[in-house]
Amino acid sequence: MIDPATKQERLVTLERENYVEHLRALLYSTYSARFLPLVVHQAFHGDFVPFGTMAVRINLGGPQTARGLYFSVTCAEAIPFITEREIITETSGTFLGDHRVRAHIAVCKEWPSGTVPRSFTAPVKSPIPLVMFSGEADGATPPWIAEEAVKYCPNGRLIKAPHTGHQIDTCTWGLMQTFFKTASVHQLDSSCVERAHGPRFATELPPP
């Protein structure tokens, strides 16, 4: 493939785990998700150039998360509470499979991290005003998590964005500003979020 950064041709060995991980990454953004059908369709026909192009674009920006911090937090607060039964149940029949979670567990066996008590996973109950935003198609933090959490917050409100992934539409910035000024969820006009619609599927790659 042609490396977008160097404009030079380079040989890339593609493994299944790497392929599906980049497909997962495309789903984070509503914009990048529109290229997913094109990427998968072309790969089915033996053309992995669209996939390679989008994968390189994802990686060109560099890591968006401080990996050390990420593992320090998740190895203490998430991984210890994942059971073998949950891994089998949640990954069975999915395109991603169990590679990611098992690789994460393997890292945590070596990564230094703290510990949290079992009570850490108990619901947070609070009367403090709270607003949550959730993308209807978010596979990283799906809406059911917020739906469960908001039950314990009598002054909380969940705003779900249709046709949206992990990254919520920019109109939410105005809602957050209103919330910070009023400290109330009752004056939030969420119609701009509820009117959101997904972009059309792409039929060609974006310009360089």
Q: 55 and 74: one domain?
A: no
pLDDT digit of tens for each residue in the chain (208 aa)? Answer: 766 667 788 788 888 998 999 899 888 888 888 999 999 999 999 998 889 888 877 776 555 668 899 999 999 999 999 999 999 999 999 988 999 999 999 999 999 989 999 899 999 999 999 999 998 888 888 999 999 999 999 999 999 988 888 887 778 888 999 999 999 998 899 998 888 777 889 898 887 6
Q: Is residue 202 part of a domain?
A: no
- Assess if residue 205 is contained within a domain: no
Q: Which residues of 44-69 are buried (b: 16+ CB within 10 A; e: fewer)?
A: eeeebebbbbbbbbeeeeeeeeeeee
Q: Is 137 helix (H, G, I), strand (E, B) or coil?
A: coil
Which residues form the domain of 86?
A: 67-110
143 and 178 housed in the same domain: yes
Q: Are residues 39 and 94 in the same domain?
A: no
Residue 32 falls within a domain, yes or no? yes
Do residues 75 and 49 share a domain? no
Q: Is residue 10 part of a domain?
A: no
- 96 shares its domain with 147: no
Does any domain span residue 203?
A: no
Q: How many distinct structural domains can be found in the chain? A: 3
Residues 6+ apart with CB under 8 A from 59: none
